[in-house]
Chain A
Amino acid sequence: QQPVQSPQAVILREGEDAVINCSSSKALYSVHWYRQKHGEAPVFLMILLKGGEQKGHDKISASFNEKKQQSSLYLTASQLSYSGTYFCGTDSGSARQLTFGSGTQLTVLP
């Protein structure tokens, strides 16, 4: 079953912050976050393994609440280059494959 992402779309001004949420109905081994720009393949951002992880690099960080089966991606002081569609991919089965959410379209305006 596909994880639920929210919001579906968000528009920001450069320098503003955003949070994207990903929620699953299944117990998760891990959550993966990707960003995809129009016409291109997804680019890996980070992976969070079970254990209540938080990770971050530069101004992008994420958390994973294993008990709630939720993950959030935090974008701080957004830059124009952050624009794109963000997907979470959840790993919940014995097959250890990812099921992707419907995506969150992020637009950063100057």
Chain B
Amino acid sequence: GAVVSQHPSWVICKSGTSVKIECRSLDFQATTMFWYRQFPKQSLMLMATSNEGSKATYEQGVEKDKFLINHASLTLSTLTVTSAHPEDSSFYICSARWDSNQPQHFGDGTRLSIL
């Protein structure tokens, strides 16, 4: 089946640090990748939609200057949390798909803890 790899799995760092998370589709070309944030016992909240070669579309309330997204190729998207603060601590998950009528396949997620 379709495989999406997300790294790193865990990040613990000090307040003010910038953190980069990678999302790769391993066996298919992902025309669209999505970035979600999930707080404990809550649903997945879409942060942004990323199409290869174009600027990401951010959901309302998500700061584009804080959460930088790059989708440079059909198999790689990155999310950079700039100057992270404790309130940015969360579970960040990416997903990828190759067609709008196909499933989204999720990476394993990145647990971000900002001290």
> Residues of A at under 8 Å CB distance from B?
2, 29-30, 32, 34, 40-44, 47, 49, 87, 89, 91, 95-103
Which of chain B's residues have a CB closer than 8 A to the CB of A102?
42-43
**How far is it, in angstroms, between the C-alpha of A95 and the C-alpha of B57 when the chains are bound?**
10
Q: Mark B25-63, 1 if CB is under 8 A from A, else 0.
A: 000000010100000001111100100000001000000
Q: Report, nearest first, the 3 A-B pairs whose CB atoms are least far apart.
A: A96-B100, A41-B106, A44-B103
User: With A40-B109, A95-B57 known to touch, is A87 a contact of B103 (CB < 8 Å)?
Assistant: no
Which of chain A's residues have a CB closer than 8 A to the CB of B100?
29, 91, 96
Give the number of A-B contacts (CB < 8 Å): 51
Which of chain A's residues have a CB closer than 8 A to the CB of B108?
40-41
Overall SS of chain A's interface = strand
**How far is it, in angstroms, between the C-alpha of A102 and the C-alpha of B42 when the chains are bound?**
7
Q: How large is the interface on B (under 10, 10 to 19, 20 to 34, 35 or more residues)?
A: 20 to 34
Q: Nearest Cβ in chain B — how far from A26, in angstroms?
A: 15
Q: Nearest Cβ in chain B — how far from A32, in angstroms?
A: 6
**How far is it, in angstroms, between the C-alpha of A97 and the C-alpha of B105 when the chains are bound?**
13
Which of chain A's residues have a CB closer than 8 A to the CB of B105?
44
**One of B45, B57, B93, B101 near A41 (C-beta < 8 A):** B93
Which of chain B's residues have a CB closer than 8 A to the CB of A89?
44, 104
Which of chain B's residues have a CB closer than 8 A to the CB of A103?
43
In the complex, besides A41-B6, A102-B43, 12 extra interface pairs with C-beta distance below 8 angstroms are: A32-B104, A41-B106, A41-B108, A42-B44, A42-B93, A43-B106, A44-B103, A44-B104, A95-B57, A97-B34, A98-B46, A102-B42
Which of chain B's residues have a CB closer than 8 A to the CB of A96?
32, 100
Q: Nearest Cβ in chain A — how far from B90, in angstroms?
A: 13
- List the A residue with the shortest CB-CB distance to B99: A96
Q: Is the CB of A42 within 8 A of B106?
A: yes
Q: Nearest Cβ in chain A — how far from B62, in angstroms?
A: 13
